[in-house]
């Protein structure tokens, strides 16, 4: 009986690990798609950024409307807000020094906005124009990741409840019996 309970617990933990790996692959695929979108948007914005001034504003406007981003913001590399289109969202996220270095090297950091503000993806890119380098922050809704998160929370509850029942049954089986 104890062996069966132990085996059931191991199968449950294994299923949990497989689910976590699947979630990580799904999330990586979504992040890769967002990186592709950001790179395409960055390429279309580059000629307008090269003009400077009003060109930057036109690039932000075009990116948010034509490329279907919820918002596109421009920052100086030190994090100073420059402008946004259509309006600056209430996002308090900024890049770590490591992410900023990777950004300068041409990578596109992607992450998820905190759940308290909703499930949104944040992606960063850097463009250089006549006014110097500008950090762009792209924000997009991610209903897929929000649904995945809800499903993952339900999965954790199910696995946790199963393990709790297994421990309780194991404790009852191993408890000393009165003579």
SS3 assignment for 107-121: CCCEEECCHHHCCEE
Does residue 179 belong to any structural domain of this protein? no
Q: What CATH number corresponds to the domain at position 137?
A: 3.30.450
The tally of domains found in the chain comes to: 1
Residue 94: which domain range? 2-174
Does residue 71 belong to any structural domain of this protein? yes
Cα 100 to Cα 109: distance, rounded to the nearest angstrom:
9
Predicted pLDDT of residue 116:
53
Predicted pLDDT of residue 105:
92
C-alpha dihedral over 138, 41, 148, 12, to 10 degrees? -110
Does residue 13 belong to any structural domain of this protein? yes
With beta carbons less than 8 A apart as the criterion, state whether 119 and 113 touch. Answer: yes
With beta carbons less than 8 A apart as the criterion, state whether 13 and 162 touch. Answer: no
Does residue 59 belong to any structural domain of this protein? yes
pLDDT in tens, the chain (179 residues): 778 777 888 888 888 888 888 888 988 998 999 999 899 888 888 888 777 778 888 888 888 887 778 889 989 999 999 888 888 777 888 899 999 999 999 999 998 886 554 578 899 999 887 778 989 999 988 878 777 777 877 888 887 888 788 788 877 777 787 76
With beta carbons less than 8 A apart as the criterion, state whether 112 and 102 touch. Answer: no
Does residue 156 belong to any structural domain of this protein? yes
Does residue 44 belong to any structural domain of this protein? yes
Does residue 112 belong to any structural domain of this protein? yes
Place of tokens 């920052």: 75
Does residue 35 belong to any structural domain of this protein? yes
- DSSP, collapsed to helix, strand or coil, labels residue 138 as strand
Predicted pLDDT of residue 114:
65
């Amino acid at each position: 009986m104890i062996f069966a309970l132990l085996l059931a617990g191991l199968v449950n933990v294994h299923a949990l690990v497989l689910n976590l790996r699947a979630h990580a692959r799904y999330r990586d695929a979504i992040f890769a798609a967002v990186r592709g979108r950001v790179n395409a948007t960055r390429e279309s914005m580059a000629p307008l950024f090269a003009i400077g001034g009003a060109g930057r504003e036109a690039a932000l406007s075009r990116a948010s409307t034509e490329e279907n981003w919820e918002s596109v913001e421009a920052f100086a590399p030190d994090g100073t807000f420059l402008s946004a289109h259509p309006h600056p969202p209430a996002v308090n996220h900024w890049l770590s020094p490591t992410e900023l270095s990777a950004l300068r090297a041409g990578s596109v950091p992607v992450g998820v906005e905190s759940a308290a503000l909703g499930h949104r993806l944040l992606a960063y890119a850097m463009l250089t124009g006549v006014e110097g380098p500008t950090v762009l922050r792209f924000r997009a809704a991610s209903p897929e990741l929000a649904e995945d998160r809800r499903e993952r929370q339900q999965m954790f509850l199910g696995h946790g409840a199963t393990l709790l029942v297994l421990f309780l049954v194991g404790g009852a089986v191993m408890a000393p019996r009165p003579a």
